[in-house]
Amino acid sequence: MRRTSFAIPIATKGLKLLSRKSYEAAATSVFDNPISARFDENDALVYFDDVKVPWERVFVYRDTDMCRAQFHDTLGHTFQNYQAQIRLSVKLKLLAGVARRLAETIGTANMPQIREELGWIAAQAAMVEGMVCGMEAVGHMQNGAYVPNKHLMYAAQVLTQELYPRIVDKIRSLAGGALIMLPSSARDWADPEFAAIIGKTQRSPAATPRDRVKFLKLAWDAIGSEFNSRHTHYEMFYAGARYVGCSHGYRTYDWDAAGALVDSLLKDARP
């Protein structure tokens, strides 16, 4: 079945989905796991155990070039990765919000070196959003559809593969030990003795003890939990290894225009 493309119902006999552990199922509460309890997207290996695929369900059969063409000679690959950059720009805006709230919560927001780090994070989030706007602004009509600029799209993909883990690490540095010095669960608040201790130890210049814990639980879910580890790995490799994105960038760049600038400087040069 290699070099073959088809679509069949999930309920087809012999088709099995081997899912990874669900982070949503492992979440104890929305208070303790505010992101993973609501926004986990499961990954799975699809296993075919003597599955019958009717011919009317087959798009491509044993044709390597056609399998490639269905994504790259159509708009499939373009729109797939365009929406990925829109998704990522929203995720980075969320992380920027987490970073600033984190500094405010632990009382470091007015320190010049912290503002420098927050400014860097803000600039990176704005860069990705700007690249999305750019790929839309210089897009073109193709077969009745408006298509974003492919090179800016692939350029954003290459840059963000390395950018996402850097931003996560920056926020880790801003947090210090605050994210691991937290109550074990929302149930601790139900015990008056524990609640009193939490109230004395989880202080913030910008939030009540309960709101401090609530936010820091969210921050941990966003940058430190198993849920986040999956998302960081996903943003680094969902489109393939680094060389895959770079090869798309090389393939779609306007090398003729770049070369013309070089030629324009050489044209009138005389020994």
CA distances in angstroms from 268 to 41, 95, 255, 261, listed in the order given: 59, 51, 21, 13
Q: 108 with 222, same domain? A: yes
Residue 53, domain CATH: 2.40.110.10
Helix (H) or strand (E) holding 118: helix 112-137
Residue 125, CA atoms < 13 Å, CB-side half-sphere: 21
CA distances in angstroms from 73 to 6, 13, 65, 68, 183, listed in the order given: 18, 33, 10, 8, 54
In this prediction, residue 2 carries a pLDDT of: 65
Q: 9 with 95, same domain? A: no
User: Could you tell me if residue 269 is inside a domain?
Assistant: no
- What is the number of structural domains in the chain? 2
- 68 within 8 A of 11, measured Cβ to Cβ: no
Q: 56 with 91, same domain? A: no
Give every residue of the chain whose pLDDT is below 50, as ranges: 1
